[in-house]
Amino acid sequence: MTTTPKTILFMPESAYGPTNQCIGIGKVLLERGHRVVFAAEASWKGKLTALGFEEDLVDLAPPPDTDVEQDAGQFWKDFIRDTSPEFRKPTIEQLSTFMLPTWQALIDGAKFCEPQLKRILERVRPDVVVEDNVLCFPALMTAGVPFVRIVSCNPLEITGPNIAPAYSGYPAGDRSEWDAFRAAYDRTHRATWADFNEWVIEQGAAPLPDLQFIHESADANLYVFPKEADYTSDRPLDPTWHRMDSSVRETDQDFELPELARNRPAGSALIYLSLGSLGSADVDLMKRLVEVLGRTPHRYIVSKGPQHEAFELADNMVGMEFLPQTKVIPQLDLVITHGGNNTTTESLHFGKPMILLPLFWDQYDNAQRMDELGFGVRLSTYAFTDQEMFDALDKLLGDEKLRAQLTKNGAAIRERDGLRAGADVIEAVVLKAAGLPA
In this prediction, residue 14 carries a pLDDT of 80
**Confidence check: pLDDT of 411 > 60:** yes
Sheet holding 241-244, edge to edge: 54-55, 35-38, 7-12, 128-132, 147-151, 220-224, 241-244
Is the CATH number 3.30.413.10 carried by domain 7-250+417-433? no
For position 75, what pLDDT does the model report? 57
d(CA 124, CA 116): 12
Q: Considering the chain, what percentage of its residues have pLDDT values greater than 70?
A: 94
Task: Indicate if the pLDDT at residue 211 is higher than 70.
Answer: yes
What whole-number distance in Å separates Cα of residue 171 and Cα of residue 163?
A: 9
Average pLDDT over residues 30-43: 92
Q: What is the pLDDT of residues 271-318, one digit of tens each?
A: 999 998 777 778 889 999 999 999 999 999 999 877 677 788 999 999
Amino acid at 249: R
**Residue 1: is its pLDDT beyond 80?**
no
pLDDT in tens, 357-394: 999 999 999 999 999 999 999 999 999 999 999 999 99
Q: Cα(79)–Cα(85) distance, rounded to whole angstroms?
A: 12
Q: Which residues pair with 356 in a beta bridge?
A: 337, 378
Q: What is the mean pLDDT of residues 16-30?
A: 90
Mean pLDDT of the chain, nearest integer: 91
What pLDDT is recorded for position 397?
96
Output the pLDDT for position 140: 96
Q: Going by C-beta distance under 8 Å and a sequence separation of 6 or more, which residues neighbour residue 78?
A: none
Residues 6 or more apart whose CB falls under 8 angstroms from that of 103 comprise 135, 189, 192, 213
CATH architecture of 259-415: 3-Layer(aba) Sandwich (3.40)
Question: What's the rounded Cα separation, in Å, for the pair 245 and 230?
Answer: 9
Is the pLDDT at 79 greater than 90? The verdict is no
Lowest mean pLDDT among 70-79, 112-121, 216-225: 70-79
Q: What is the spatial distance between Cα 102 and Cα 189, in angstroms, rounded to a whole number?
A: 11
> What pLDDT does residue 220 have?
97
Could you read off the pLDDT of 350-359 as tens digits, one per residue? 999 999 999 9
Q: What is the dihedral of CA 403, 404, 410, 416, to 10 degrees?
A: -160
Query: Tens of pLDDT along 330-353?
Result: 999 999 999 999 999 999 999 999
> pLDDT digit string (tens) for 416-431?
999 999 999 999 998 8
If pLDDT is split at 50, 70 and 90, which confidence band does 269 have? very high
Q: What angle do CA 429, 432, 437 make, to 5 degrees?
A: 120
**Residues forming CATH 3.40.50.2000 domain(s) in the chain:** 7-250+417-433, 259-415
pLDDT of residue 87: 85
274 three-class SS: strand
Q: Which run of H or of E encompasses 185? A: helix 178-202
Q: Over 80: is that where the pLDDT of 72 sits?
A: no
Q: Poorest-confidence range of 142-146, 291-295, 414-418, 432-436?
A: 432-436
Q: Check residue 69 and give its pLDDT.
A: 58
67 pLDDT band (50/70/90 cuts)? Answer: low
